[in-house]
A = this chain, B = another copy of it.
Amino acid sequence: MLQGHQTWVFNNRPTIISAATVGGPFEAEGPLANDFDLLHGDLWLGQDSYEKAQKKMLEEACEKAIQKGGLQKQDIQFFLAGDLLNQIISSSFAARTMAMPFLGLYGACSSSMESLALGALIVNSKAGNYVLCGTVSHNGAVEKQFRYPTEYGAQKPPTAQWTATAAGVALLAAEGEGPKVTCATIGRIVDMGISDPYNMGGAMAPAAVDTITAHFRDLRINPREYDIIATGDLGRVGHEIASDLLKKHNIDIPTEIFTDCGLLIYGPNQQSEVLAGGSGCGCSAAVTYGHLLNRMKKGELRKILIVATGALLSPLSYQQKESIPCIAHAVSIVSSQ
């Protein structure tokens, strides 16, 4: 199963038999609105805190994915999830509602592909027949956690990104119809000394490039194998840095196939708020499990590589003058058609 240094090849074809995405009001104004299963008109979801709203979104995405898969909660063996709140409370509390054996993960925004990679490993190893993998972020909850409560209206520099209010969940199965998870490259920590939490894209770009490089080295394949290589979420600043670094590493990814989930989720009409692009673990999860899987279903994409990036800082590590360790995990998904 291990190929090269850090890549898993899944020969038993773990299958995404269903997926579900939930978005907030701002996501509903974006270009991918039609790709969400459920969009909320306000940020509260009838809850009395943003944190509880974040948990609720993950629960909704889980329930929707199970329903679309034609299954019941009790059919699922394992739930793998993580999120950006301290002690991943959204995931743990959603796991309480789902009442499934639970493996909590933390990889910041890379949690989306960390959970999919580990979920695929479980299914591929016959350690589970049905595994639910997901993550969530909420603009109000996450901004408060990492920067300032959004109610302050703090100004941000143009390198800052907009935390998506979104949840994305994939239901993996040992058999069935749907796209197959074929490989996963687990990333190393890369830290280039950036300590500015308003420039996550710049901090994470080298980690994305490290994992992309490892992926092609381990598998001995060419970037042109993929119809899309999407990082998540570098935004505009990080995407440009990653493109430059890849050229320096002599990895030739054609511009038309290299994109970023943080660039896809919002449109030009949202630019003044979004600044450098979308972010938050829900961003790459929702773009992948909504938009990109839908494009696969339509036959527009056959094989995609998602490189979810995570900035592994905490507000405390920032206060203690530490730089930002970053990571990226890559997972490839192939259409069954």
Give the segment of A118-126, A149-157, A237-245, A289-297 that binds chain B. Answer: A118-126
CB of A40 closer than 8 Å to a CB of B: no
Chain B residues with CB under 8 A of A2: 77, 126-129
Number of this chain's copies in the complex: 2
Contact of A89 with B126 in the complex, beta carbons under 8 Å: no
Contact of A1 with B92 in the complex, beta carbons under 8 Å: no
Give the segment of A15-23, A164-172, A183-191 that binds chain B. Answer: A183-191
Contact of B77 with A5 in the complex, beta carbons under 8 Å: yes
CB of A85 closer than 8 Å to a CB of B: yes
CB of A327 closer than 8 Å to a CB of B: yes
Chain B residues with CB under 8 A of A317: 51, 87, 89, 93
Chain B residues with CB under 8 A of A104: 82, 105-107, 114, 312, 327
Contact of B92 with A325 in the complex, beta carbons under 8 Å: yes
CB of A34 closer than 8 Å to a CB of B: no
Contact of B312 with A100 in the complex, beta carbons under 8 Å: no
Contact of B77 with A325 in the complex, beta carbons under 8 Å: no
Interface size on A, residues (CB 8 A): 56
Chain B residues with CB under 8 A of A121: 121-122, 125, 127
Kindly identify which residue among B129, B187, B312 contacts A101, using a CB–CB cutoff of 8 Å. B187
The 8 A CB mask of A184-209 against B (1 = contact, 0 = none) is 00111101000000000000000000
Interface residues of A (CB under 8 A from B): 1-2, 5-6, 8, 49, 51-52, 77-78, 82, 84-89, 92-93, 95-96, 99-108, 114, 118, 121-122, 124-129, 186-189, 191, 312-317, 320, 322, 325, 327
Sample 6 A-B pairs with CB under 8 A, ordered by A number: A89-B312, A89-B322, A93-B312, A96-B189, A96-B191, A103-B114
14 A-B pairs besides A2-B126, A89-B313 with CB distance below 8 A are: A51-B317, A52-B320, A85-B314, A85-B316, A87-B313, A89-B314, A92-B312, A96-B325, A101-B187, A103-B114, A104-B105, A104-B106, A104-B312, A121-B125
> Top 8 A-B pairs ranked by shortest CB distance?
A87-B314, A92-B312, A125-B125, A101-B186, A96-B189, A6-B101, A104-B106, A1-B127
